[in-house]
Amino acid sequence: MSSGRPPGPDGLPGLGNTLQFVRDPVGFYGVCAEYGDVVRARIGREDLYVVSHPDLIRQVLVDDAANYRRLDSNPERAGVFDVGMALVAGNRWRHPRSTPPPLFDTGYVPEYATATVRHAETMAALWDDGEVVAVDEAMRELALDVFIDVLFGVDVDHRQRLSDLGGAVGEPGSGDTERLRAAVHAFDEAVDTRSPSGLVPGWVPTRPNRQYRRALAEFEHVVDEVVERRRASDDDGSHDVLSTLLRVGSAGRELDEVAIRDRLVRTLVAGHETTAAALTFTAHALATHPGVADRLRAEVDAVLGPRSAAAEDRPALGYTKRVVTESLRRYPPLYATVRRPTRTAELATYEIPADTTVVTSQYVVHNDPRWYTAPETFRPERWATWDGPEYAYFPFGGGERAGEWARFVVQELQLVVATMAQQVTFDPVTDDPLELRFGATLAPKDGLDLVVRERVATPRN
């Protein structure tokens, strides 16, 4: 039974809470949470409902998921990453007309792990002892390498790429790897959430919107060519995601190739950004918490010694996983998940009208003292005994697709963090507190520079 309109912060006549929201969306979600677990705000001409209790979050994302839809657009334009796809303004992503099989085949987990570790070792080998590294940029390149390799089977080697490009990372080369890389970089540049133009709907023919459409079209064109070339090669021995999907199609299951292409594009864009953000924040946490870093290195040295990490090492790398888990709690790259009810819904005792916006904020809930002692403290040890509600921790959203996504990303994060701890240590460049930017993903506002100290002598080109 509904008990009327949910409470919420006061707004301005005609504007509602728009200015508060635009200045600091996540800070505004936090303000809303102070009014209760279901709060109503007004953004422009639209009602916004902020949900902050784990049980209600589960209701929206899992139990009643059929009654909610993901968005074609959202109030932040490109401010939210949903599982496996960027949510940007306007109807910019085609929706799959058929559902492809799972992207990450569990039978190939060891091979995915081998690719991940190889790229992490190569990245570490590029750094000199005492070098100041733009870690956010480096982790973006590393994550992009891993996703290109796993999704498309286009192997990437940092040393060869840097040699071919004369040391200029990200410039387009002649092969599929560099064409994919160039397409991703162009797309990332077109989706600049720091610009005021990010609030303009996608259908408005502004220069940034035209740039976005051109970048997306080129991105899709490159992927189409890679897919077509792979299909023509008749290679049935590769275990990358694309090859697996094509084998399913050749075995008689009807697949929508446009749907496959769009899913690969979404996964590559969202996957490398979210993974890079998680690795960046983990590196920052290790640089600023030497006790945590020492314990992590002790575990890695005991489990791995001098050999490379492998998928079968993950159960023994328990503290490493807790470090990753705590990083995803404290600094969730996917900092808010947005849904629209397809019909009138009920949350707690309130009616939520159809086609309004419902936000569940990972950042707010993950840092709520109701569920975490000293939530602003980075403390991996908490995960040895934590027994809070299930959806007090939901870094990947909720539902079946979130589970598939989480299994792969957590494996990647755990193995990269272990490999980095084996090879190098990180020291802070400054004692200044970390400022955050809530853009396409959560990110350090001004990037992140750290000093790299070499632990293991690695070969150089």
pLDDT one digit per residue (tens) for the chain, 461 residues: 556 789 999 988 888 999 988 888 889 999 999 999 999 999 888 899 999 999 999 999 999 999 998 864 333 333 332 322 333 223 334 444 445 555 665 555 677 899 899 999 999 999 999 999 999 999 999 999 999 988 888 655 544 554 444 444 444 334 778 888 888 887 777 765 444 444 455 555 667 677 778 888 888 888 888 888 877 776 666 777 888 777 765 555 556 677 778 778 888 888 888 999 999 999 999 999 999 999 999 999 999 999 999 999 999 999 999 999 999 999 999 999 999 999 999 999 999 999 999 999 999 999 999 999 999 999 999 999 999 999 999 999 887 667 777 888 899 999 999 999 999 999 999 999 999 988 878 999 999 999 999 997 554 43
pLDDT of residue 85: 30
Nearest of 335, 264, 247 to residue 93 by alpha carbon? 264
Number of H-type helices and E-type strands within the chain: 14, 14
Q: What is the DSSP letter of 313?
A: G
Residues contacting residue 371 through CB under 8 Å, at least 6 positions apart:
54, 365, 388, 389, 392, 393
User: How confident is the model at residue 155, as a pLDDT?
Assistant: 57
Question: Which helix (H) or strand (E) covers residue 351, if one does?
Answer: strand 350-352
CA distance 250 to 24: 49
Between CA 316 and CA 18 the distance in angstroms is: 49
Q: Are 277 and 441 in contact (CB under 8 A)?
A: yes
Cα–Cα distance measured from residue 444 to residue 433, given in angstroms and rounded to the nearest whole number: 10
Tokens standing for 286? Answer: 């290790």
- Gyration radius from the chain CA atoms: 22
**pLDDT (0 to 100) of residue 230:** 79
Q: Point out which residues pair with 132 in neighbouring strands.
A: 451
The answer to whether the beta carbons of residues 139 and 283 sit under 8 Å apart is: yes
- What is the reported pLDDT for 259? 73
pTM as predicted: 0.85
Which residues sit opposite 444 in a β-bridge? 436
As a whole number of angstroms, the distance between CA 4 and CA 440 comes to 34
Can you state the percent helix, strand and coil of the chain, rounding each to 5? 50, 10, 35
pLDDT of residue 107: 57
Name residue 63's amino acid: D
Q: For residues 254 and 229, what is the distance between their CA atoms, to the nearest angstrom?
A: 20
Q: Are 244 and 107 in contact (CB under 8 A)?
A: no
Give the largest CA-CA distance in the chain.
69
- 234-256 burial string, b = 16+ CB within 10 Å, else e? eeeebbbbbbbbbbbbeeeeebe
Q: Are 189 and 207 in contact (CB under 8 A)?
A: no
The 3-state DSSP class for residue 453 equals strand
DSSP string, 361-413: -HHHHHT-TTTSSSTTS--GGGGGT----GGG--TT-SSHHHHHHHHHHHHHH
Contact 320, 299 (CB under 8 A): yes
Query: Which candidate, 66, 84, 82, places its Cα nearest to that of 74?
Result: 82
The DSSP element (H or E) to which 459 belongs, if any, is none
Q: Distance between CA 337 and CA 398 in Å, rounded?
A: 9
User: What confidence score (pLDDT) does residue 229 get?
Assistant: 81
Which string of DSSP letters, residue by residue, matches 199-222? Answer: GS-TTS--HHHHHHHHHHHHHHHH
Residue type, 334: L
Q: What is the pLDDT of residue 74?
A: 35
CA distances from 212 to 77, 116, 146, 388, 437 (A): 12, 30, 24, 41, 21
- Asked if residues 111 and 412 have their Cβ atoms less than 8 Å apart, the reply is no
Domains and CATH numbers, the chain: 18-454 (1.10.630.10)
Write down the pLDDT at residue 105.
Answer: 56
